[in-house]
């Protein structure tokens, strides 16, 4: 490398924006660029355009591969060219699911470049896929997990990785989050509740921000809404996000006449304001690797209801800053909501603890600093 700064290429084969991509954006934004040059390679899919523009706006080089989905072999051919021609020293592959990123691993092996893997959402693969993955990752320099639970899972699936796994909790940009709410007044909150949520000021707002995918467990939240509607509870559930289940959920809401109780907002770009205008946050996932959105809800001062799986218990302490419930249970959702709605003093205690916990434990700068240490280890500097 001589005296030049080492080059580290971050890579993902995703065509959708989610928590993993937000993680990568924060890493690129807050990394010490005096110590290394970070770059990004990703698909040319148009859904990634706004994300890439933000990254380019930071002065970071972005390579848009002509691949349009994770199975496109152009991921491999174009990555090999970049790794060779741009003198990349380390490839950091971000796996948004455990079967993604294989072309990145093959490209690193082809060019004999050290590679790091971050497993954002690991889970056991079918036998053949699991065997293939175990062969592919034999040569990984370091693996990063975003929760201790996921570290334990990977050690069980791939024991040979145990001494190469580092756990680094996700983090959020608390300064940015607070800046979005500096001018968000009480009247703005009331306006949001009236004009966006279509409710009056007295109706408690329960918000969920998640991809509309079966694994997020939103159908159980809808079952709970039906139950609460029958009891004529004074609530409104706001669901923010897009995905494959949108039409299914719209049909459910129409079929059970839940329009007054549930609102699907689709994808939004004003999440801090939406959260600040809410009263309770819920994440009913069937499996959640970490739950970055929980940190955002905590920063907004919301009490949390979340299912007790994956890395969630590493964020939420039951009865302290939220309620942990079993997954796949609309009854548990109903009971937790009723408990929080009936105990405003408990909600206030949770709110105060949540904001402090995020700033103390889950600020993005801590995540970036620990990732820098992994890079230095692999680069031997």
> Do 127 and 179 share a domain, yes or no?
no
Establish if 136 belongs to a structural domain: yes
Residue 13 lies in a domain: yes
Cα 254 to Cα 381: distance, rounded to the nearest angstrom: 60
Tokens matching residue 83:
């790794």
Residue 104 lies in a domain: yes
Quick: pLDDT tens for 292-314. 899 999 999 999 999 999 899 99
d(CA 302, CA 355): 9
282 Cβ contact partners less than 8 Å away, ≥ 6 residues apart:
206, 207, 208, 221, 304, 305, 306, 333, 336, 337
CATH number at residue 112: 3.40.50.2000
Identify the DSSP state of 109.
H
Instruction: Give 26-79 pLDDT, tens digit per residue.
Output: 999 999 988 999 999 999 999 999 999 999 999 999 999 999 888 999 999 999
What value, to the nearest 5°, has the Cα angle with vertex 136 and ends 76 and 81? 20
Look-up: residue for tokens 């592959």?
Answer: 93
| Shared domain check, 50 and 108 | yes
What are the tokens at 349? 């205690």
Torsion of CA 51, 296, 235, 346, to 10 degrees: 180
Dump strand ranges (E) for 125-176.
142-145, 165-167
Q: 335 - beta bridge partners?
A: none
Specify whether 159 is located in the same domain as 215: no
Asked if residue 336 and residue 221 are part of one domain, the reply reads: yes
What was the pLDDT predicted at 18? 82
Q: For the chain, how many structural domains are there in total?
A: 2
Does residue 151 sit in the same domain as residue 212? no
Residue 127: inside a domain, yes or no?
yes
In a domain, 208, yes or no: yes
Give me the pLDDT at residue 2, please: 52
Residue 303 lies in a domain: yes
Contact 374, 144 (CB under 8 A): yes
Pair (137, 157) in one structural domain: yes
Same domain membership, residue 268 and residue 223 = yes
Structural domain harbouring 222: 174-361
Cα–Cα distance for residue pair 113/130, rounded to 1 Å: 23
Residues 137 and 272 both lie in one domain: no
Q: Are residues 154 and 190 in the same domain?
A: no
Q: Which of 172, 263, 187 is nearest to 221 (CA)?
A: 263
Q: What DSSP string describes 264-330?
A: EEES-S-HHHHHHT-SEEEE--S--SS-HHHHHHHHTT--EEEES-TTGGGTPPBTTTEEEE-SS-H
Q: Which residues of the chain have pLDDT under 70?
A: 1-2
DSSP label at residue 125:
P
Q: Are residues 346 and 324 in the same domain?
A: yes
Specify whether 134 is located in the same domain as 279: no
Q: Are 244 and 251 in contact (CB under 8 A)?
A: no
Q: What is the DSSP letter of 11?
A: E
Q: What is the DSSP string of 217-275?
A: -HHHHHHHHHHHHHTT-S-EEEEE--STTHHHHHHHHHHTT-TTTEEEEES-S-HHHHH
Domain membership flag for residue 1: no
- Does one domain contain both 33 and 154? yes
């Amino acid at each position: 490398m001589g005296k030049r700064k080492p080059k580290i290429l971050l890579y993902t084969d995703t065509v959708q924006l989610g928590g993993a991509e937000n993680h990568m954006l924060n890493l690129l934004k807050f990394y010490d660029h005096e110590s290394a040059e970070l770059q990004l390679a990703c698909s040319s899919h148009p859904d990634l355009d706004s994300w890439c523009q933000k990254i380019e706006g930071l002065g970071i080089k972005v390579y848009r591969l002509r691949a349009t989905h994770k199975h496109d072999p152009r991921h491999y051919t174009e990555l090999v060219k970049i790794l060779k021609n741009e003198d990349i020293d380390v490839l950091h592959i971000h796996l948004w699911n455990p079967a993604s990123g294989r072309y990145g691993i093959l490209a690193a092996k082809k060019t004999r470049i050290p590679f790091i893997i971050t497993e954002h959402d690991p889970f056991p693969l079918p036998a053949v896929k699991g065997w293939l993955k175990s062969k592919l990752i034999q040569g990984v320099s370091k693996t990063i997990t975003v929760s201790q639970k996921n570290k334990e899972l990977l050690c069980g699936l791939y024991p040979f990785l145990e001494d190469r796994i580092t756990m680094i909790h996700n983090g959020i940009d608390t300064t940015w989050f607070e800046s979005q709410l500096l001018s968000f007044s009480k009247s703005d909150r009331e306006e949001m509740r009236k004009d966006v949520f279509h409710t009056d000021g007295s109706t408690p707002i329960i918000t969920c921000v998640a991809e509309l995918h079966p694994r997020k467990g939103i159908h159980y939240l809808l079952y709970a809404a039906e139950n609460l509607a029958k009891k004529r509870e004074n609530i409104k559930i706001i669901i923010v996000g897009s995905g494959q289940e949108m039409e299914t959920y719209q049909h459910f809401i129409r079929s059970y006449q839940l329009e007054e109780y549930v609102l699907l907002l689709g994808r939004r770009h004003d999440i801090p304001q939406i959260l600040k205008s809410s009263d309770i946050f819920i994440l009913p996932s069937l499996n959640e690797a970490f739950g970055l959105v929980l940190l955002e809800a905590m920063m907004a001062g919301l009490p949390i209801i979340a299912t007790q799986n994956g890395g969630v218990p590493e964020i939420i302490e039951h009865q302290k800053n939220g309620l942990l419930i079993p997954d796949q249970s609309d009854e548990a959702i109903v009971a937790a909501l009723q408990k929080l709605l009936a105990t405003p003093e408990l909600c206030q205690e949770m709110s105060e603890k949540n904001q402090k916990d995020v700033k103390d434990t889950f600020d993005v700068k801590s995540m970036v600093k620990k990732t820098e240490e992994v890079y230095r280890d692999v680069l031997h500097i």
